[in-house]
Amino acid sequence: MTDSSSDAPKTPAAPNASGGQAIWGGRFSDKPAELMQAINVSIGFDRRLAAQDLAGSRAHAAMLQKTGIITSADAEAILAGLETIGQEIAAGSFPFREEFEDIHMNVEARLRELIGPAAGRLHTARSRNDQIALDFRMWVREACDRTAAQIRALQKALLAKAEVHAATVMPGFTHLQPAQPVTFGHHLMAYVEMFGRDASRFADARARMNESPLGAAALAGSPFPIDRSMTARALGFDRPAANSLDAVADRDFALEALAAATICAVHLSRLAEEIVIWMTPQFGFITLSDAFTTGSSIMPQKKNPDAAELVRAKVGRLLGSFTQLAVVMKGLPLTYSKDMQEDKVPTFEAFDALDLSLAAMAGMVADMQPVVDTMAKAAGAGYSTATDLADWLVRELDLPFRDAHHITGAAVKRAEQLGCDLPGLPIDELQALDPRITGSVYQVLTPAASVASRTSHGGTAPDQVRAQIKRWKEVLA
């Protein structure tokens, strides 16, 4: 601690100590500057936007040249310098420096080192506000495309497994209680549908975000004769954003992508949870190879589904990221505020987590093997074909469904007393409930017959499942 008594010598090096501010200045002169730098600097994370920043600068420089705002000689020097910077970044030799704060100023500072004062002309008719809006939007757009491709890969893994097991019976559950037999293929195809909607949510978000903010400049537009359609086209946008204030102020494109990502992570967590349940010895429905399991340091018998558990947990990060950005944006007055620099870390983290989760899940789906006999045995347990019995009574004896439901309930109760399953209930026991019941009823009481009978569109009958697999194969081809 320094002493701030009036006897203390004035330090000439302290820049803020002038004008009789010795007490305050003597103690604090340098620290606020350092803290300012510490809280302000973003190069540690926005260096991930280097490729987008360079692409934006190339398009901007070409437009400045074409519109005559800068000379061809300057434009060529700028483009050559940007090319060198791109190579340096690819080679890992680019000097990312904290003193230049963010990716934009790091690139500009390096450009000046490489080509001299012409570098200063690149920022004509541009602001870091439209620059970051552009870079980040392009990053999120690419993340949407990458994620959609990963979802497709996961869907293909699910499809391949479903095709092999279109007729493999397993219990279908409601309330995690055995409900009606279904096929394993049908169950996997349910996830193909969910992930299909996830992919389409990313496509929708992408279409909405595909407007270029470049040329909005700081917030109000530019007095230079810029061509915003030219840069929009060059960067793969459908059109320039129509309102310069909106273009620099909103991050709804990232929120929308994070919402889609969170929903996808929710789906992943449900499949992950099922893998965890199916892997338990109590269920024993599937096995996972050593590739996707880990052992215990103390219990030698253990084979734990850690990858599935981690996928199940990652959704927390995703929803957390969405929440973080929503809270950052909430209540911000138009237009740009530095708060918005906090948009990047949650978004990067969310997509990193989703990327890993999708890849791990695709790997697990390809890896997992159903234990067909165990599934089949379980499919018949818990009186799972009771609905089939009730339906038979409706069809064959013309009973109202409510009456059939009542008789079937009595049959289940009797089976419970006798310690058998429904197919094992003797015919005289059934006829005691209704004398018109015949031996043909047993044909509908096996799990295989049960699933085969559910031929309604989208039902679990193997032919229906195969029809959906065929449709999806065409969609994903």
Q: 296 an active-site residue?
A: yes
The nearer residue to ligand ARG, 43 or 264, going by C-beta atoms, is 43
The nearer residue to ligand ARG, 195 or 253, going by C-beta atoms, is 253
Cβ–Cβ < 8 Å for 427, 440: no
42 near ligand ARG, judged by CB under 6 A? yes
CB of 231 to ligand ARG, least distance (A): 18
53 near ligand ARG, judged by CB under 6 A? no
Cβ–Cβ < 8 Å for 185, 465: yes
CB of 338 to ligand ARG, least distance (A): 6
Tokens encoding 400: 């109202």
Q: How far apart are CA 45 and CA 43, in angstroms?
A: 5
341 near ligand ARG, judged by CB under 6 A? yes
Q: How many CB atoms lie within 10 A of CB 176?
A: 7
108 near ligand ARG, judged by CB under 6 A? no
The nearer residue to ligand ARG, 74 or 343, going by C-beta atoms, is 343
Q: How far apart are CA 108 and CA 117, in angstroms?
A: 11
102 near ligand ARG, judged by CB under 6 A? yes
Q: Which residues contact 189 (CB under 8 A, 6 or more apart)?
A: 158, 159, 162, 465, 468, 469, 472
The nearer residue to ligand ARG, 76 or 349, going by C-beta atoms, is 349
57 near ligand ARG, judged by CB under 6 A? no
78 near ligand ARG, judged by CB under 6 A? no
Q: Which helix (H) or strand (E) holds 170?
A: strand 169-174
Q: How far apart are CA 70 and CA 92, in angstroms?
A: 31
Distances (CA, A) of 371 to 159, 186, 460, 464: 18, 16, 19, 23
CB of 108 to ligand ARG, least distance (A): 12
Q: Which of 4, 72, 296, 337 is catalytic?
A: 296
Length of the chain, in residues: 477
The nearer residue to ligand ARG, 74 or 102, going by C-beta atoms, is 102
CB of 221 to ligand ARG, least distance (A): 16
CB of 200 to ligand ARG, least distance (A): 30
Beta strands in 206-289 (DSSP E): 211-212, 239-240, 286-287
Q: Which of 175, 440, 456, 457 is catalytic?
A: 175
The nearer residue to ligand ARG, 338 or 457, going by C-beta atoms, is 338
- Specify whether the backbone of 293 is left (phi greater than 0), alpha (psi in -120 to 50) or beta: beta
Q: 175 an active-site residue?
A: yes
Burial string for 48-84 (b: 16+ CB within 10 Å, else e) reads bbbebbbbbbbbbbbbbbeeebbeeebbebbbebbee
Restricting to residues 117-146, name those near ligand ARG by CB under 6 A.
128-129, 132
46 near ligand ARG, judged by CB under 6 A? yes
The residue range among 58-66, 256-264, 267-275, 332-340 that interacts with ligand ARG, by the rule CB under 6 A, is 332-340
59 near ligand ARG, judged by CB under 6 A? no
Distances (CA, A) of 68 to 56, 122, 234: 18, 13, 18
Catalytic residue list:
175, 296
Contact residues: ligand ARG, CB under 6 A: 42, 46, 102, 128-129, 132, 336, 338, 340-341
